[in-house]
Structure 1
Amino acid sequence: MKGEMISNISHDLRTLLTSLIGYADLLENKLHSNVEECEHYICVLRRKSNELKN
């Protein structure tokens, strides 16, 4: 039971961190192009970071 809970929490954290890293990579690659697209990635990064915090 405890092991399953830890496994689920670990999976959720890895999923969110993978998402954050992916959006950070996209933002880095698009930094000198479309400003609106970069702003979107920043919003997603902020939302995913808040999910980790809460």
Structure 2
Amino acid sequence: MEQLEIERCVHHVYRNLVVAATGTGKTMVAAFDFLRLYKEILKTRLLGKV
């Protein structure tokens, strides 16, 4: 989670890939990361523009 924030704030990279073994919580990382981003930018969409 911290590394994703660093990528956004320091390097301005907003498209990231989380690589980890099966069962280590990649989906949870994505959900919590999106929740944090959504709280910062209320108009953020998960799947892009509709």
Higher helix share: 1
Higher Cα radius of gyration: 1
Common topology (TM > 0.5) = no
The normalised TM-score by structure 1 is 0.41
The normalised TM-score by structure 2 is 0.43
